[in-house]
Amino acid sequence: MQTQGSRNCLEIVRFEGGLPLTCVDTLQLERVPFSISFGLFMNGESLIFDSLDWLAFKEDICDWSISHGIKSIIPSFADALFHERTFPTLHTRIFPSYSPSIGVFHFFDGTREKTNETPHLLQAGFSNSEAKLIAQINKHKPELSALGILPNQLRTLLKGSSHADHAEEALADLRQTMFWKGFKLWKKRTALVAQFWKECPQEWKSTKQTTNTQQCLNMFHFCTKIKDLSKQKLTLCPCSKIAPTDKRLGASKKRKKDSTITSLPGSRQIDLFFTREDHVRRDRDRDKRYGAF
């Protein structure tokens, strides 16, 4: 996996063989003979709402791999990216958390994972045809449901029921309800996002460049860079530069004060502001001082 070439994908751990996985066909635990990498897919806003505790993550991965006898490797590039920045903290969470739906139909729920539910529906007492239709319905994308686009399997299921005469009327009412509920959620989310960016600290807001440049896509854009451990090239966005601090300002004053000492003979400090002519003149002065002429 390429970690340094992509800005939204980062390899965070690699297991060198022996990772235990459950086989789909046999439902038995088997160890994979080859290495497997786990990546982190996110954008800059993700680290604001759900910041990652990198030290705790590394400790948990190390303990888990040792307990299972698996060799795990944390890429040095990912480790450097997390150690060279400080992450913002939110005292209150603006977006409320919702519990996933527990009903049979949840194709409109974006918090539920899309899995094959046919075996579970068969165990619950549904027929084979009904279980397959409901499983396909629940795999429907919730984004389409919010626009009033319903799965075709829902019409097939309604026409095969005792309410087949009112199937089209029920579908039309459901489409209209889903659309307006989705529109209401979109308006609420837009208002919350606008409120967040209005009240958040100024350093979290993306800076606009005076030149015609695209918006920064670095996943660490809103995290303050305090060290340069990853050795990445600077970009036009200020997030790629180390944030100035008072300590760095004091160090620059100290260098300026000590720069006058570098011109003395025998000084071990290197002054990069001497020209070639200055070096020749200094050598001649030194020869005169020791009686070469």
Tokens of 206: 């993306």
Q: For residues 72-89, b (16+ Cβ closer than 10 Å) or e, as one string?
A: bebbeebebbbebbeeee
Per residue in 147-193, pLDDT (tens digit) is 888 888 888 888 888 778 888 888 889 889 989 988 898 898 888 88
Per residue in 93-144, pLDDT (tens digit) is 444 555 666 778 888 887 777 888 888 888 888 888 888 888 888 888 888 8
d(CA 30, CA 265) in angstroms, rounded, equals: 71
Average pLDDT over residues 26-48: 80
Q: Is the pLDDT of residue 4 over 70?
A: no
Domain map (residue ranges) of the chain: 1-88+218-243, 118-199
Nearest partner of 106 among 135, 72, 131, judged by Cα: 135
For residue 216, name the pLDDT band (cuts at 50, 70, 90): confident
For residue 6, name the pLDDT band (cuts at 50, 70, 90): low
Residue 95 has a pLDDT of 47
For tokens 């060290």, the residue is 227
Is residue 7 a contact partner of residue 216, using CB atoms and an 8 Å limit?
no
Tokens of 19: 């990772």
Residue 62 φ/ψ, nearest 5 degrees: -65, -45
Q: Show Cβ contacts of residue 275 under 8 Å, excluding neighbours closer than 6 positions.
A: none
Question: Rounded to 5 degrees, what angle do the CA atoms 150, 155, 160 make?
Answer: 155
Q: For residues 210-223, b (16+ Cβ closer than 10 Å) or e, as one string?
A: eeeeeebebbbbbb
Mean pLDDT of the chain: 75
Q: How many CB atoms lie within 10 A of CB 226?
A: 14
Handedness of CA 4, 8, 12, 15 (dihedral sign): negative
Lowest mean pLDDT, pick from 42-46, 141-145, 180-184, 203-207: 203-207
More confident residue, 134 or 244: 134
Amino acid at 17: G
Tokens of 78: 């990912």
For tokens 């970690």, the residue is 3
